[in-house]
Structure 1
């Protein structure tokens, strides 16, 4: 009796986790797997689709189905924003994640575009401005070893950032210390943040931009950055490939 695609996915998953198919190697061709397990090619295709959705394998043109080599990036919690990293050093959050994960990095791992747009209702509410007001949108695409990991799009009031490096679309952080130091030098030092995270399925545009395998969800981050007196100086929306990150938080348990 032949097995179904879910059972075949379990067999292949176990083989990957045992090391039968090491990282960066390719699985046998679908026709070969079909012959080995006495199933049709469609069953193999569906089984591999399950593994893609779990982030275990990735289809690569002209190579086949490749076993993913790299463990998920560790995305630090509050530690990624520590002032000793960007105010007194030169480690912005995306670099802090890479260093914590033992990854190499270069400034051009972050590309960006800057545009003046009309605030939608969510941006307007966050920044405390009327909907339709002009705001600056700084949209970043971040990669790890050439593979997109996430997007992060920040919004600012024009008066807070005009004439600063935050409006420079050059790839990489906005100079030494990144955007947080830019705001600090404007008298708007980040002091407190609120991050809200939820999961959903990606839009077609996100699938294309992040090179997501079929069925992989995204983690959506909404971030508000406040000064010590409670003024919101940045609202950001991030979209993260779910299989490419583990989210890590260290904090003191409140009394």
Structure 2
């Protein structure tokens, strides 16, 4: 299932998101349609937990590039402003349960990550 979102701050678009969830996992469940049902607006953790597939890990790959003309227009970017692309895949154990492409204006975000180190 593909879902496209635009996130806004102060009425301005700040992020484009395209999310993919396998219908082989969600078909016939309350979360089959991400924009409908009892978990409308809930995040992936709550949604997939509700069907017994709580995410156990998330992998993100980041890169930067110049936006496509349609992306620059959707986000209202000035010429020459690059974007950061985050490809996020969420897993339940070893099963991918969602992948999402997030597109951010590079001049509007500072990215910070904290990584846990497993105890011995």
The Cα offsets for residues 173-213 of structure 1, whole Å up to 9 and x where unpaired, read as 834x4232111111111110110000000000101111101
CA RMSD of aligned residues (A): 2.2
Helix, strand or coil for the counterpart of 1:208? helix
CA contact (8 A) 1:160 1:186 kept: no
Please name the residue that 2:40 is paired with: 174
The structural deviation recorded for 1:168 is: 4.6
Q: Could you tell me which runs of 5 or more consecutive residues in structure 2 were left unpaired when the two chains were aligned.
A: none
Structure number with greater Rg is 1
Indicate conservation of the 8 Å contact 2:23/2:32, yes or no. no
Query: Which residue in the other structure is 1:214 paired with?
Result: 79
Of residues 169, 172, 193 in structure 1, which corresponds to 2:58?
193
For residues 214 and 252 of structure 1, the distance between their equivalents in structure 2, rounded to whole angstroms, comes to 38
Return the offset for 1:160.
2.1
From the superposition, tell whether residues 155 and 219 of structure 1 become closer, same or farther in structure 2 (CA, over 3 Å).
same
**Relative contact order (alpha carbons < 8 A, sep ≥ 6): 1 or 2 greater?**
2
How does the TM-score come out when normalised to structure 2? 0.85
Corresponding position of 2:96: 232
Verify the 8 A CA contact 1:184 1:190 in the aligned structure 2.
yes
- 1:156-175 alignment to 2 at 5 Å? 156-162=21-27, 163-165=29-31, 167-169=33-35, 174-175=40-41
2:102 and 2:70 mapped to 1: Cα distance?
A: 14
More helix by share: 1
Residues 3 and 34 in structure 2, CA contact (< 8 A), matched pair in contact too: no
For 2:111, what is the secondary structure of its paired residue? strand
Deviation, 1:253, is 6.2
Under a length normalisation based on structure 1, what TM-score does the superposition of the two structures give?
0.42
Instruction: Report SS of the residue matched to 1:143.
Output: strand
Partners of 1:150 and 1:210 in 2: how far apart?
7
Q: Does 2:15 correspond to 1:150?
A: yes
Aligned length: 116
Q: Specify the SS of the correspondent of 1:181.
A: helix
Structure with the largest fraction of strand:
2
Name the CA shift for 1:160/1:213 in 2 (closer, same or farther; >3 Å): same
